Structures are given as C-alpha cells and as structure tokens.
Amino acid sequence: MNKLDVAREALKVYEISSARLALLKNVYNTTYRVIARNGEQYVLRISHPRRAVPDIVRSELLWLAALRDDLCTHVPQPVMNRVMQYVTILPDSENHRTHLCALFRWTTGRFLSRSLSPSHLLRVGELLAHLHDHATHWKLPAGFIRPCVESLNPLEQEQGDAFDRAIAASAAEAVASVSTREHGALVAAVIRKVWSVLQRLGDGPADFGLIHADVHQWNYLFHGGQVGVIDFDDCGFGHWLYDLAVTLYCLSDRPDFAALRSAFLTGYRQSRPLSSEQERGLESFMALRRLQDLLWVIGERHKPAFRDRWQTLTMDSLRRLRDFIRP
C-alpha cells in the first residue's frame, strides 16, 4: 500500500469515512490533515518504519492524554480507535511490514517563527516548566517505554545508555568517513566534553526525567494568548536541560537571540528552579543537539532534502563544534 492507501485504511478503524485528506509532511513520519464530513479536523500520523514498536508509540500518546487531563495543556489530543486503542496497527502484505498509525484532534494555532518576540519566549519557557513539573510527578503507566533522547544513535528505539562508547566511536568514524580524520577527532573531543557534563549532573529527578525533546519554533504555536506544543514523537528520557537547549539551539542564529534567551529562561524560572551552574551547562546540551543533527544529516545525505546541501550543513556544524571545545 502507498501512504495514502494506508491513511484511508486507518481512518476506517477510527470510523471516519468520506473524509478529505491533505498531505502535511512526508519527511520522517507521514502526516495528513483530515477533514471529516461533519467538519471536524484531525491529524493522522503514519510512523516511520524505524518506529516499529507499538508500545513506544502508545507511551507517547498516554503522556499526551495525561497532560490534557491533568493540566488542560494545549497539546495534541490523541483519539482512540473503535477498539479503544490509541495505536492502530495495519498489516501491509504488499510491503511485508506493518504501519503504526495515530490520530489527533487538530491543534489550533499559528507558528510565529519569524515574528517571535521575548514575550512569546517567556510563555514558551513557562510551558516547558509545566511539562517538566508534570513529568516529575506523573506515575508512569505499566509498560511505558520511550528512548533516551541523548543517545548518538538515531535508530535507538528503547531506553538505552547515552554513554555508549561503541556508538560514540561510530559517530566519530561517520564524520571522518565523509570529511577528514581531524574532524572525526573533533567529534570525539566534543563527545568527551559533553559526557563530562552529563555525568556530573547525573540522572536524579532534579535534573532528569521525561521530556518533549523537540520544542522548537516549528513545534510551538500560539492561539488566543495561549501557547501550545505539538509533535511529541521524539519524547523520551533525558536531562531537563536538554529540553531547554533544543529551544535555544534552534534560535541561536537570530540577531535577537540574547533577548529571546533571557525571556525564555525567565519564563521557565517562574515555575521551576534553574541555578547558574545549570544554566552554564546549556552550552553543552546545545552542542549535543548540534552533533545529533550533524549525524542525522550525514545519514540522510543521499535523500533529496539533503543531497545538495549536506556538505555545507556539515562544515557549518563542525565549525561551531570546534568553537565549543576551544578553551
């Protein structure tokens, strides 16, 4: 089956018929906007083949449901299918695989990537603090499985160890194979420096827990004075600082970055403590995210989205990582 056929078959399990489907994105997961006959709107997500464990997807949706029930947070509302399951598993004999599908009610709001102001980032910081507070106190359901978001292995599905030396060596070799041995050594040095920060923080509840892991300006949106966040597909276990660092990393090229950063951290501190020492650690987590993105681009360099620009992106990332390890 092609993706559109998969989407149509999935909607039957949700008892939504005669709906109009419009492709939203087909990069990693495939998502469709669904407009039902009665006018209600949804997002249907077909997980990437690498996301092949139903319990991993189900765990994400259980957290979303709890966030809405406990905090009335502006996050996607997962929809159960007709057999009262959040994950729809569709066999595909033609391609010898199964598809994992999830349906969400449409999240209303606008993305403000270009017009973001410090007042917007203040609210994003407040939202992230609320997510962390909820994760700190929420009792994980039985069978809850999400990966370690700080791993250097983009294929890792289940909870693993961020400090995997074999994967670290593989990451350095991946960079060296498309660039130079010196750049491979640079990546190894970055990993050592980042790991020293992660190990110093540890994994106690004051520093570590369940996080969104992808709160950037194309995933948070605004409506009626309220900020919300979508796309929990990357959620997993990591340091609270990683979540903060992703937001800042994706804004770091803006000329008003300092003002946005200050407002964002102020908003976060209104609900949760963030010491000066923890704040200094943000640079290491931003470097980790940059390294993860670098490895992703190298792995996807033959795809149309990266074929013509992966070398430029790679060299820019390596230059910034070199700045990170300079004394």
User: What is the set of domains in the chain, with CATH numbers?
Assistant: 3-105 (3.30.200.20), 118-325 (3.90.1200.10)
The pLDDT of residue 157: 57
Helices (H), the chain: 3-13, 54-71, 118-137, 165-178, 181-201, 240-249, 257-269, 276-280, 282-299, 310-325
The answer to whether 244 and 281 are in contact (CB under 8 A) is no
The pLDDT of residue 174: 95
The pLDDT of residue 50: 82
Summary count for the chain: helices (H), strands (E)? 10, 10
The pLDDT of residue 92: 82
The pLDDT of residue 183: 97
Provide DSSP, 2-29.
Answer: -HHHHHHHHHHHTT--S-EEEEEEESSS
Query: How far is residue 218's CA from residue 231's CA, in Å, rounded to a whole number?
Result: 10
With a cut of 50, which residues of the chain have pLDDT below it?
Answer: none
The pLDDT of residue 222: 96
* 209-229 pLDDT per residue, tens: 999 999 999 999 999 889 999
Both tokens of 273, joined, read 């403590």
* 289-301 pLDDT per residue, tens: 999 999 999 998 9
The pLDDT of residue 158: 58
Residues 6+ apart with CB under 8 A from 205: 136
The answer to whether 199 and 109 are in contact (CB under 8 A) is no
Can you tell me which residue has the tokens 């005669």? 18
The pLDDT of residue 141: 96
